[in-house]
Amino acid sequence: MIRIGLIGYGYWGPNLARNFAETEDCQVARIADFRPERLAQALRRHPAAGVTTDPQELLRNPDIDAIAIATPVATHFDLAMAALAAGKHIFVEKPVTTTSDEAARLIEEADRRGLTFMVDHTFLYTPAVRRIRELCDKGALGSLYYYDAVRVNLGLFQHDINVLWDLAVHDLSIMDFLLPESPCAVSATGVRHVADRGEDIAYLTLFFPSSLIAHIHVNWLAPVKVRRTLIGGTDKMVVYDDLEASEKIKVYDKGITLNGDPATQHQMRISYRSGDAWAPHLDTREALSLEAAEFVRSISTGERPLSDGEGGLRIVKILEAASRSMAERGVPVPIEIRRREGSEFSDSIRRLKGAILEHQSGDRRRSPAHAG
Amino acid sequence: MIRIGLIGYGYWGPNLARNFAETEDCQVARIADFRPERLAQALRRHPAAGVTTDPQELLRNPDIDAIAIATPVATHFDLAMAALAAGKHIFVEKPVTTTSDEAARLIEEADRRGLTFMVDHTFLYTPAVRRIRELCDKGALGSLYYYDAVRVNLGLFQHDINVLWDLAVHDLSIMDFLLPESPCAVSATGVRHVADRGEDIAYLTLFFPSSLIAHIHVNWLAPVKVRRTLIGGTDKMVVYDDLEASEKIKVYDKGITLNGDPATQHQMRISYRSGDAWAPHLDTREALSLEAAEFVRSISTGERPLSDGEGGLRIVKILEAASRSMAERGVPVPIEIRRREGSEFSDSIRRLKGAILEHQSGDRRRSPAHAG
Amino acid sequence: MIRIGLIGYGYWGPNLARNFAETEDCQVARIADFRPERLAQALRRHPAAGVTTDPQELLRNPDIDAIAIATPVATHFDLAMAALAAGKHIFVEKPVTTTSDEAARLIEEADRRGLTFMVDHTFLYTPAVRRIRELCDKGALGSLYYYDAVRVNLGLFQHDINVLWDLAVHDLSIMDFLLPESPCAVSATGVRHVADRGEDIAYLTLFFPSSLIAHIHVNWLAPVKVRRTLIGGTDKMVVYDDLEASEKIKVYDKGITLNGDPATQHQMRISYRSGDAWAPHLDTREALSLEAAEFVRSISTGERPLSDGEGGLRIVKILEAASRSMAERGVPVPIEIRRREGSEFSDSIRRLKGAILEHQSGDRRRSPAHAG
Amino acid sequence: MIRIGLIGYGYWGPNLARNFAETEDCQVARIADFRPERLAQALRRHPAAGVTTDPQELLRNPDIDAIAIATPVATHFDLAMAALAAGKHIFVEKPVTTTSDEAARLIEEADRRGLTFMVDHTFLYTPAVRRIRELCDKGALGSLYYYDAVRVNLGLFQHDINVLWDLAVHDLSIMDFLLPESPCAVSATGVRHVADRGEDIAYLTLFFPSSLIAHIHVNWLAPVKVRRTLIGGTDKMVVYDDLEASEKIKVYDKGITLNGDPATQHQMRISYRSGDAWAPHLDTREALSLEAAEFVRSISTGERPLSDGEGGLRIVKILEAASRSMAERGVPVPIEIRRREGSEFSDSIRRLKGAILEHQSGDRRRSPAHAG
């Protein structure tokens, strides 16, 4: 039984509490928040959990195995480091820290102490993103041309972070999970329209060692909500629209074919291919429940979780570089990312898949949601 | 009666011929193309027009008043300059020239000779773009936050120009028509995937003297066709989707309101406004027919056309700067644009509006398209 | 304080329990279900409520003021009549009973005892339906031409009722709420594809004293989910798409105008009007919470609720006639409906509106949902 | 060389003229219309064709092989019969005649004289409908549950026919082409809102010998245009949306599975299947060009065309029955249809397919439409 102490019961904390509470071999032992009215609600929903306004109390509690941190990003590092020092495993909200240096120090400390360090990159656990990953793993898309993501709406302006650290972090974590290589440079632009807040619109172009290019558009001031990613490959192209109710992923058999001898380039001819489209059925398990189970299993087995501290660090490195580029109106800034791709990662994917298959076979026995 | 000589009867030329032929006080006198099979088709459709493989013949012909040029962009300058030298008015396909210097010289020459110089920026004449312009002119949107355009599809790779000069030219001309200021710098990124062609994906961020920001995304390798522009203002926001059959423009009463004393910025509070949406009905007159009429009237009256050489020059200046930025992975490049905003321009808008109203009143007498 | 006893904690019961629990001056006192595992879940979510497998226990309990019945339709009448006999107000799931005779007897009994009898026609309380009602009340649509509703998806086949009694009941209650007249005849068709179940596809045409016509299409075997209603009037037309995230209602300024002297009919000319479209902003209060509050207020004040037993009876009368028509492949069957339209009804509408306005003014102080 | 005489150059006639003119081994020899201004336009577009206000002149002309009739439906029979009497093949606009008796007499006369009698059911020649036919022929859908079509918009009110004869005729011809059986009864309802015109809204339910059911909804007074057909089968379900630009057909692997012994029906259990969706790529050849070629080939070879007089007769029989049912508010009216399904029909399908394949292989060499 893994006993979780949760720090922060604001917007996202309740979702974590609910999912950890419903995870096997796991319970929410104690919840901390400095706002009494939030604690009152926490208590109503989790009567068995104790509550406190003092996060330190959770760290001192010897019955608590792991700390989940869902507080403003500026507080992540100190809380996480203190939790590790107290021998607790940590689960940290995104973005993991405000600097890559902080993230690196947490990784080092967790490794030194043999503790699990997981980052809440929820999208990696969604059926849609896992399905695209499967397509990529099978090589179904061919070589990738581009990755283009749009995430805009009339959104809650954050106090402490700009739209890049608030929204682009999702797309960067998905991209990091799906693409076979890491970006080597970024050109970012953006602008702020409210005096005391960060940028509310931003555009990022990411360059890669190959001719792959990635772009992310995030905006807090859009009249419509868009969550759409295009991924273009030599063999297939994918449209991933997270707002579609039932066909979130479409795979297009579209593209170009080059004819002629590439040596004599000016004779290269292009022909166009336009074939069927295909929307694979997706399982319906909630991402956060899968992620909670992943945390518990990682602690139990000592295996590295799918969304580990390294992933959090990679995303923060890109965000740091993007912030510098944005300050200089798009001047490209290099990014140095070293990926540790070992057996642990593949195991994690495989483990996840097993968990989903179990879940799905249970699913089959149920009937569809009522249609009223 | 304005007699037009048309040079180039490839993809776009037939549309010009058809529309000039149907314009009052105008006729297509002669068509030149170096491909005999194109001329054969031209003759079938325009039996009264003569055809020739020699464009010079048109320039020498004293019965021809104006030359329309629909050839590859590299040939525009020489043909246009020769036409002006021969005393002909000119109508030039977009992009107007390959360099801003060429465009400037054409403007100067046309001005010196008192000849009309019009550039084929067709989108300015579409019902949707004119309607948005009306909203902007009335100040309905308030101060502008951003202009964001996406124009992607699986498209014909051009031989002589990259995706920026092929597709972004449309969005730049619309933006130039709608926005109250001109950009002062550009950061562009892009990549090519076919060895002997130009970039097939590109992203442009345009900076303005104010906090307005513009962005254009063009792509020849997308599996779906998208033609969507978001324009955000303090009072209203517009979504312009050119692929929508009947509701191309939607106006959203959405946005934010700032409360508190801006002097004490850290106390600024943001509240969110979410009101009705509205899709204005658009007239249905074909853009190109309106544009053809505008050319004829400009010649007849000596007034500057709505899409004049100056507009063509402004777009080419932006494209030049964007190309330089793209070569350096987004390093911002300044743009120097001086706009001549005089009575002629306003007159042109007014005149256009009159022409449409006349047309619409005719429209009312007709019934809707058959529904089969 | 109104104390509710809930019978039935299956698919819909939990929603009723949650909403009554959150309603002011109301509490869920006791929950009955014959399935122990359902009671266990009820207890987890409502620890203060007692649970029992015996519904009679609730009826005997003097501390319980009202009974909410969310059991299979065949059991509604007996439970509801027993509850009235025990002096309890009743809130009954749709369809209210299996016959119109039963519904009439419940109305009579409730009236005789001065008890509130409310039917759970949830859609009347949705922001979209209330907004259309406002448009109708203002006469914005003009005279109505037609009401056309489609409600299809791959749905849960019910054991005890066919698709008409399961899905069309929603559309009939909305229609009953919106239209100024009641239908006088119905022609229905449908078919069953599973041997021991009811019809899974059905089509209803409803005739009215005027030239208004209504049609409802319901289907449990559709590959896509559709929830779309068209309402055509002489002045405006409405499209109500319940699956649209943000623009559920669109009002079109479209239609025809008749010219000429109607006396000399063969000279009648039709012209077509195609104007702006408009999507009014809708408030976001959950329908069921409004409905729960309406029940509590009706009990407290003795006023007739918006969705009263009479409304339930009208719907069951139509369903009975439709079933008979369907058995004869569309032979029209007359419907006799007498509407009691008094001050109580108008008061109810007014009261509801007040409740929503209060709620909205609270809303304004909040920020939009987080955008992650 | 087949020489066509065209009678009627109003809304649809110009499309016929253009397509016959571009068909191999075919020419438009002469065009008749009683309106001089229509003839003037006909002459501009077809300078080689003679024109006349007298249709009889075409019938008398020995150089004309076939007559295409695109006049109001009330005139079809007399013109067609006269053309057959003059030894001409005939191509008749839909609906073919105003009564089934007339259609039967034309079939008999054409057969007697060995002349080709083709009806313009254009939709049979569209890529989408042909693709669905292929799916049906392969048995991909399994046994059919239902066929449900919606064809509504703000449409041109016809003078001489109601919405059933104007719009439902399309859906009936598609249905006739796709379904393996013919309807045996119809229940129709509808209403008129303009005094001197026919019904502007109508609903048809068609019953079949099996448990298959079909329904058609047509409406001239809808604010939005809808062209959507659902076809449900035991193995797959199809959504055919004619307004979709690139994915007109979607095939859903969705449905139900029955478990348990059908003999002991009350134990029958239903489970639900929700799999992938798939949008087959469609070829892009214009339907009317294919249809024109089919007419020419049928004349040349003497083979029965795909959309022959028999098909026209079947549709008129259904329309007659539906009109009688509609007059009695849905009372079901039997339909007697005897289908002649022989080798000629299959040959026709095969021939059509060959023609398309040829066309497509030519297609591959071309590039996609310009993207401007």
Residue pair B133/B354 in contact by the 8 Å Cβ criterion: no
Kindly give the confidence (pLDDT) of every residue in chain B, 372 residues in length, as a single tens digit, with 9 standing for 90 and above: 999 999 999 999 999 999 999 899 999 999 999 999 999 989 988 888 999 999 999 999 999 999 999 999 999 999 999 999 999 999 999 999 999 999 999 999 999 999 999 999 999 999 999 999 999 999 999 999 999 999 999 988 988 899 999 999 999 999 999 999 999 999 999 999 998 899 999 999 999 999 999 999 999 999 999 999 999 999 999 999 999 988 999 999 999 998 766 565 555 689 999 999 999 999 888 899 999 999 999 999 999 999 999 999 999 999 999 999 999 999 999 999 977 655 445 555 555 655 554 544 443 333 333 334
A261-283: pLDDT as tens digits: 656 555 568 999 999 999 999 98
Centroid of chain to Cα A125: 8
End-to-end CA distance of chain C: 40
Closest residue of chain D to B222, computed from CA coordinates: D371
Task: Round to whole Å and give the CA distance between C150 and C152.
Answer: 6
The CATH number for C124-372, chosen from 2.60.40.2140, 3.90.340.10, 3.30.360.10, 3.20.130.10, is 3.30.360.10
3-state secondary structure B307-364: CEHHHHHHHHHHHHHHHHHHHCCCCCEECCCCCCCCHHHHHHHHHHHHHHHHHHHHHC
Prediction pTM value: 0.91
SS3 A221: strand
Give Cα separations from C185 to A165, C207, C208, C214, D248 (angstroms).
61, 5, 7, 11, 37
Closest residue of chain B to C253, computed from CA coordinates: B281
Q: What is the dihedral of CA B127, B128, B133, B134, to 10 degrees?
A: 70
Q: Give Cβ neighbours of residue D338 (< 8 Å, ≥ 6 apart).
A: none
Cβ-Cβ contacts under 8 Å, C263 against chain D = none
Q: Do A278 and D279 touch (CB under 8 A)?
A: yes
Kindly give the confidence (pLDDT) of every residue in chain A, 372 residues in length, as a single tens digit, with 9 standing for 90 and above: 999 999 999 999 999 999 999 899 999 999 999 999 999 989 988 888 999 999 999 999 999 999 999 999 999 999 999 999 999 999 999 999 999 999 999 999 999 999 999 999 999 999 999 999 999 999 999 999 999 999 999 988 988 899 999 999 999 999 999 999 999 999 999 999 998 899 999 999 999 999 999 999 999 999 999 999 999 999 999 999 999 988 999 999 999 998 766 565 555 689 999 999 999 999 888 899 999 999 999 999 999 999 999 999 999 999 999 999 999 999 999 999 977 654 445 555 555 655 555 544 443 333 333 334
Q: Do A146 and B191 touch (CB under 8 A)?
A: yes
Judge: domain B122-372, CATH 3.40.50.150: no
Length of chain D counted residue by residue: 372
Of B11, B368, B371, the CB nearest to D370: B11
* Burial (CB count within 10 angstroms: exposed 0-12, middle 13-18, buried 19+), residue B368: middle
Q: How far is C73 from chain D (nearest CA, A)?
A: 19
Chains near C with 3+ CB pairs less than 8 A apart are A, B, D
- Assigned fold of D124-278: Dihydrodipicolinate Reductase; domain 2 (3.30.360)
Q: Do C224 and A243 touch (CB under 8 A)?
A: no
Angle CA A136–A138–A141, to nearest 5 = 50
Annotated domain spans of chain C: 1-115, 124-372
End-to-end CA distance of chain A: 40
Kindly give the confidence (pLDDT) of every residue in chain C, 372 residues in length, as a single tens digit, with 9 standing for 90 and above: 999 999 999 999 999 999 999 899 999 999 999 999 999 989 888 888 999 999 999 999 999 999 999 999 999 999 999 999 999 999 999 999 999 999 999 999 999 999 999 999 999 999 999 999 999 999 999 999 999 999 999 988 988 899 999 999 999 999 999 999 999 999 999 999 998 899 999 999 999 999 999 999 999 999 999 999 999 999 999 999 999 988 999 999 999 998 766 565 555 689 999 999 999 999 888 899 999 999 999 999 999 999 999 999 999 999 999 999 999 999 999 999 977 655 445 555 555 655 554 544 443 333 333 334
From the candidates B151, B156, B157, which should be mutated to test the interface with D, based on the most D CB atoms within 10 A? B156
Q: Do A368 and C155 touch (CB under 8 A)?
A: yes
Residue pair C41/C274 in contact by the 8 Å Cβ criterion: no
Q: Do C156 and A246 touch (CB under 8 A)?
A: no
Which H or E element spans position A187? Answer: strand A185-191
Q: Do D272 and C329 touch (CB under 8 A)?
A: no
- Strand pairing class (D117-119; D89-92): parallel
End-to-end CA distance of chain D: 39
Q: How far is A277 from chain D (nearest CA, A)?
A: 5
Q: How far is B233 from chain C (nearest CA, A)?
A: 19
Cβ-Cβ contacts under 8 Å, C12 against chain A = 370
Which is the CATH superfamily of the domain at B1-115? Answer: NAD(P)-binding Rossmann-like Domain (3.40.50.720)
Q: How far is D180 from chain B (nearest CA, A)?
A: 25
Q: Give me the interface pTM, i.e. the ipTM.
A: 0.91
Residue in this structure with the two tokens 């020459």, named with its chain if needed? B109
Cβ-Cβ contacts under 8 Å, D248 against chain A = none
Residue pair D121/D307 in contact by the 8 Å Cβ criterion: yes
Task: Round to whole Å and give the CA distance between D11 and D71.
Answer: 9
Q: Do B371 and D225 touch (CB under 8 A)?
A: yes
Structure tokens at D165: 């004869």
- Assigned fold of D2-122+287-307+339-363: Rossmann fold (3.40.50)
Nearest to A264, CA basis, from B193, B158, B200, B195: B195
Judge: domain A127-278, CATH 3.30.360.10: yes
Q: Give Cβ neighbours of residue D217 (< 8 Å, ≥ 6 apart).
A: C148, C215, C217, D149, D150, D151, D152, D202, D203, D204
From the candidates D258, D270, D278, D364, which should be mutated to test the interface with A, based on the most A CB atoms within 10 A? D278
Phi, psi torsion values for C25, nearest 5 degrees: 60, 30
Question: Could you tell me which residues of chain A have a Cβ less than 8 Å from any Cβ in chain D?
Answer: 246-247, 253, 270-272, 274-281, 364, 367-368
Q: Do D278 and A280 touch (CB under 8 A)?
A: no
Closest residue of chain A to C166, computed from CA coordinates: A372
B230-277: pLDDT as tens digits: 999 999 999 999 999 889 999 999 999 987 665 655 556 899 999 999
Closest residue of chain B to D168, computed from CA coordinates: B372
Cβ-Cβ contacts under 8 Å, D152 against chain C = 230
Residue pair D152/C232 in contact by the 8 Å Cβ criterion: no
Q: How far is A165 from chain C (nearest CA, A)?
A: 11
* Burial (CB count within 10 angstroms: exposed 0-12, middle 13-18, buried 19+), residue D28: buried
Cβ-Cβ contacts under 8 Å, D279 against chain A = 276-279
Judge: domain A2-123+288-304+339-363, CATH 3.40.50.450: no
Asked if omega into D95 is within 30° of 0 (cis), the reply is yes
Closest residue of chain B to D122, computed from CA coordinates: B372
Cβ-Cβ contacts under 8 Å, B246 against chain D = 224-225
Residue pair D29/D302 in contact by the 8 Å Cβ criterion: no
Q: Give Cβ neighbours of residue C311 (< 8 Å, ≥ 6 apart).
A: C119, C121, C173, C176, C177
Residue ranges in chain D assigned as alpha helix (H): 13-21, 36-45, 55-60, 76-85, 100-113, 127-137, 163, 169-178, 287-301, 309-327, 343-363
Give Cα separations from A352 to A124, A295, A340, B306, D345 (angstroms).
11, 11, 19, 61, 54
Closest residue of chain C to B284, computed from CA coordinates: C274
Q: Do B278 and C275 touch (CB under 8 A)?
A: no
Residue pair B21/B43 in contact by the 8 Å Cβ criterion: no
Chains near A with 3+ CB pairs less than 8 A apart are B, C, D
